[in-house]
Amino acid sequence: MQRLQAFKFELMPTGEQQHQMRRFAGSCRFVFNKALALQKENYEAGGKFIGYVAMAKHLTAWRNSLETFWLKDAPVHPLQHALKDLEKAYKNFFEKRADFPRFKRKGQRDSFRYPDPKQIKLDQANGRIFLPKLGWLRYRNSREALGELRNVTVSLSGGKWFVSIQTRRDVETQLPHDGAVGIDMGIARFATLSDGTFYAPLHSFKRHETALRRAQRVMSRKTKFSNNWKKAKVRVQRIHSRIGNARRDFLHKATTTISQNHAMVCIEDLQVRNMSRSAAGSSEQPGKQVRAKSGLNKAILDQGWAEFRRQLDYKPAWNGGHLIAVPPRNTSRTCPCCGHVSADNRQTQARFLCVECGFEENADVVGAINVLRAGHARLACADTSPEVRASGQEPTEATIQFSV
C-alpha cells in the first residue's frame, strides 16, 4: 500500500531567508484573512459560497492591485494554498467537524506550504533544500526522508523555523494477528483497552506547568511589544512546543502499538470538540473531575483526544487493519455480562457493578468492552456502511511526523 509520511527538520536559514520566510508567512495569512472576510461579506449580502477557482481569481487581482502589490514578492503557490486551507476549513465546518473558520493572527502557527514538488529540490546528501523565492536552505539532517517528494511546509515554532517534507512511497504491510480491540477514552486514564491494558493520563502539560506559568508571569510584567517582552514571548512559545512534542511522542507510541497489535480497532465516535464537555457531565450526573476540564487543561485534553483519534484514522490502515467508529450509546452503563442497562451499574467513576447480575469490573474496561461489542455488531450488520472504514486502498491524507 502507499504511505504518505512527513519528515520534519529544523531549518538553519540565513538572516535574509528568515526575513523572507516571515514575510511569506505574513502574506499567506493576509490572503487567508482577506478571503475569509470576502466570504463573510458575500454571505451576508446573500451570495453563495465562493469556490477555490473563483477565489484564486480574486487573489490574482490582489497581487496586481496597487494597495497590495507586495503580495507579488511572495511565491504564488503558497498563497494559493492558503485559499485551499480556507476552503478546507469551510468544508470541515459544513460537515460539522470543526468550528467556523477564524481569522489567523500573527504568531499563531505561522506557516506556508509549497504544494508543487516540481518547484522543489531536495539535496539530502548535503542537508539542503531548494524552495522558490528562498533559494537553498540548510536543515538539520537527522534522518533520511524516504519516498517521493509531494509537498513541503515551512513553519515557525518556538522561535525556530522548520521544514516538513511530505513524501509518498510503497510499503509492505503485515497483518496484525491479535484480533479486535475496543477503546474507552477518559481523563483519569487517557485510554483503556478492552483487554484491560490502559494508557496513563497525558502528563506532558503538568510536568511543564510550573515553567510555563513562570514564563508567562515574566512576560506579563514586560512592556508589551518591547524587546524584553518579545524575548519572554519566545520562551513561552518554546515551552508550549516542548509540551506539544512530548504529547505527540506519547500519542504516536500509543497509536502505533495499538495499530500493530490489532486488526480491528473500535472507538466511540465522539465529536472530539465535545468530548471534554460531555465528560463534564450533566446536571443530574456531574462529572467528577470538572477542574481538569477547565481552561488550558481542557484545551490540552481536547487536543490530545483529537490527535489520538486522527492517528487512529490512518495507522491501523498502515498495518492492514481498520478503524470502526461506533455511536456512543450506553457504553458506560451496559453490563457486558448480562446486558442490563442502568445508570446504577456505575456507582463511582472507577467501578462498574451490575445491579442485576453482580458483575464487577473497572468501569473504563467495561466501556471498552462495550465499544468493542458495538463495533462487532456494526461490522456484522453493515459491511458496506460508509462508517465502517475499510482501509488499505487509498493513501490517507494523514501523516506521521518525526521531530528533530
**Does 340 participate in binding Zn ion (rule CB under 5 A)?**
yes
What distances in angstroms separate CA 224 from CA 26, 60, 220, 221, 228, one per listed residue? 20, 36, 8, 9, 9
Kindly tell me which of 7 and 352 has the beta carbon lying closer to Zn ion. Answer: 352
The answer to whether residue 364 is catalytic is: yes
Task: Find the shortest distance in angstroms from Cβ 182 to Zn ion.
Answer: 18
Q: Which of 76, 149, 234, 337 binds Zn ion (CB under 5 A)?
A: 337
The answer to whether residue 184 is catalytic is: yes
The answer to whether residue 73 is catalytic is: no
Catalytic residue among 87, 110, 184, 313: 184
**Does 355 participate in binding Zn ion (rule CB under 5 A)?**
no
**Does 343 participate in binding Zn ion (rule CB under 5 A)?**
no
Kindly tell me which of 195 and 356 has the beta carbon lying closer to Zn ion. Answer: 356
**Does 356 participate in binding Zn ion (rule CB under 5 A)?**
yes
Task: Find the shortest distance in angstroms from Cβ 336 to Zn ion.
Answer: 8
Task: Find the shortest distance in angstroms from Cβ 356 to Zn ion.
Answer: 5
Catalytic residue among 268, 313, 360, 394: 268
Q: Which of 146, 299, 338, 382 binds Zn ion (CB under 5 A)?
A: 338
Kindly tell me which of 8 and 333 has the beta carbon lying closer to Zn ion. Answer: 333
What distances in angstroms separate CA 10 from CA 267, 294, 318, one per listed residue? 35, 34, 27
**Does 376 participate in binding Zn ion (rule CB under 5 A)?**
no
Kindly tell me which of 215 and 354 has the beta carbon lying closer to Zn ion. Answer: 354
Kindly tell me which of 194 and 303 has the beta carbon lying closer to Zn ion. Answer: 194
- Strand pairing report for 322-326 and 351-353: unpaired
Kindly tell me which of 10 and 356 has the beta carbon lying closer to Zn ion. Answer: 356
Q: Which residues contact 323 (CB under 8 A, 6 or more apart)?
A: 265, 266, 267, 312, 313, 316, 317, 389, 391
**Does 335 participate in binding Zn ion (rule CB under 5 A)?**
yes
d(CA 192, CA 350): 12
Kindly tell me which of 209 and 356 has the beta carbon lying closer to Zn ion. Answer: 356
d(CA 87, CA 200): 37
Task: Find the shortest distance in angstroms from Cβ 340 to Zn ion.
Answer: 5
Task: Find the shortest distance in angstroms from Cβ 324 to Zn ion.
Answer: 25
Contact segment (CB under 5 A) with Zn ion among 37-45, 73-81, 124-132, 327-335 equals 327-335
Task: Find the shortest distance in angstroms from Cβ 345 to Zn ion.
Answer: 7
Number of residues that bind Zn ion (CB under 5 A): 8
Contact segment (CB under 5 A) with Zn ion among 57-65, 83-91, 223-231, 348-356 equals 348-356
**Does 354 participate in binding Zn ion (rule CB under 5 A)?**
yes
HSE-CB of 12 using CA atoms within 13 angstroms = 9
∠ CA 104-310-85, nearest 5°, is 30
Q: Are the beta carbons of 133 and 75 closer than 8 angstroms?
A: yes
Contact segment (CB under 5 A) with Zn ion among 60-68, 122-130, 276-284, 338-346 equals 338-346
Residue 2: φ, ψ to 5°: -95, 140
List, by residue number, the catalytic residues.
184, 268, 364
Binding site for Zn ion (CB under 5 A): 335, 337-338, 340, 354, 356-357, 359
